[in-house]
A and B are shown apart, each in its own frame.
Chain A
Amino acid sequence: NAGVTQTPKFRVLKTGQSMTLLCAQDMNHEYMYWYRQDPGMGLRLIHYSVGEGTTAKGEVPDGYNVSRLKKQNFLLGLESAAPSQTSVYFCASNFGGSSSSYNSPLHFGNGTRLTVT
C-alpha cells in the first residue's frame, strides 16, 4: 500500500537552478494536486490536475509548471528557482468530482523539503 509517493524527500538548490519533483499514486485517483506549506500559512494550492493530460492553475502558480502525462504521475517543475520557493511541497490525490465521491478526502505524500539558497 504505497499510496502517494514523493521524490526526492530533500533538495537544496542554488538560485536559478531547475528541478522536477515527482509524485506517484497507486490508488487510481483521477485528481492530483501540488501544494506548498509555509509556516503560519497552511497549505496553498500551486497547480492541480483533474485527469491525465490536463492541468490547471491553483492559488500560487507563478514560477512553477506541471505535467500529467500518465494518470498515476504528476510532476512539478521549477525552471529557475528563487529563494521565495523555499518551502515544503506536498502532493495529494483523490477520486475527484464523480457523483459518488464528490470532494473525496485528499491522500497526501510525505512531502519534499526544498531549500533555495
Chain B
Amino acid sequence: AQSVTQPDIHITVSEGASLELRCNYSYGATPYLFWYVQSPGQGLQLLLKYFSGDTLVQGIKGFEAEFKRSQSSFNLRKPSVHWSDAAEYFCAVGFKAAGNKLTFGGGTRVLVKP
C-alpha cells in the first residue's frame, strides 16, 4: 500500500523568511500529488497539484512545489512567509490504480513568528 510521509510535525519560521515543507511517498507508479492547507476550524483547501508535465508547479498564495521522481518527493516552498500562512499543511498522493482515493500525510503545522 502507498504511504505518505511528512517528516516535520511542527515548523516555526519568522515572518518574511522562506519555508520548505517536505513530503515523501512510497509507490512505484507515477503519482498524482497535492498539497492542501487547513486553517484552524476549517476544512482543507487545495494549494496546488501535480498530474504530469513540468515538475515545478505554482499554486495559490505564492506557494510552489517540485516533483522529484528520483527522490519520491514533492516538497512545498514559499520564498517569503506571511503571518497568515500559519496553518497545517497536508501532502496527499493518489495513483491511477487506486482510483480517486487519496492517501494523506500526517501533516506539518507551521507557526509564524513576528
Q: Which residues of A contact B (CB under 8 A)?
A: 4, 31, 33, 35, 40-45, 48, 50, 58, 90, 92, 94, 96-97, 102-106, 108-111
Contact B34 A105 (CB under 8 A): yes
What are 19 residue pairs bridging A and B, where the CB atoms are less than 8 Å apart in the complex?
Answer: A40-B106, A41-B106, A42-B105, A43-B90, A45-B102, A48-B101, A50-B99, A90-B43, A92-B43, A92-B44, A102-B96, A102-B100, A103-B96, A103-B100, A105-B46, A106-B36, A106-B44, A108-B36, A111-B41
Q: Which residues of B contact A (CB under 8 A)?
A: 4, 6, 9, 32, 34, 36, 41-46, 49, 51, 90, 92, 94, 96, 99-102, 104-107
Q: Report if A105-B49 is in contact (Cβ < 8 Å); known contacts: A40-B107, A110-B43.
A: yes
Among candidates B4, B36, B41, B51, residue contacting A103 with C-beta atoms closer than 8 Å: B51
Q: Which residue of B lies closest to A41 (CB)?
A: B106
Q: Which residue of B lies closest to A109 (CB)?
A: B43
Q: Report if A103-B94 is in contact (Cβ < 8 Å); known contacts: A42-B107, A48-B101.
A: yes
Q: Give chain A nearest CB distance to B106 CB in angstroms.
A: 5
Q: Which A residues are CB-close (under 8 A) to B41?
A: 110-111
Q: Which A residues are CB-close (under 8 A) to B51?
A: 103
Q: Which B residues are CB-close (under 8 A) to A58?
A: 101
Most buried by A among B6, B44, B45, B106: B44
Q: Which residue of B lies closest to A35 (CB)?
A: B104
Interchain CA distance A25-B92 in the complex, whole Å: 22
Interchain CA distance A41-B94 in the complex, whole Å: 17
Q: Which A residues are CB-close (under 8 A) to B104?
A: 35, 42-44
Q: Give chain B nearest CB distance to A42 CB in angstroms.
A: 4
Q: Which B residues are CB-close (under 8 A) to A108?
A: 36, 43-45
Q: Which B residues are CB-close (under 8 A) to A97?
A: 99-100
Contact A90 B101 (CB under 8 A): no
Q: Which A residues are CB-close (under 8 A) to B99?
A: 50, 97
Q: Which residue of A lies closest to B34 (CB)?
A: A105
Among candidates B6, B34, B49, B101, residue contacting A45 with C-beta atoms closer than 8 Å: B101
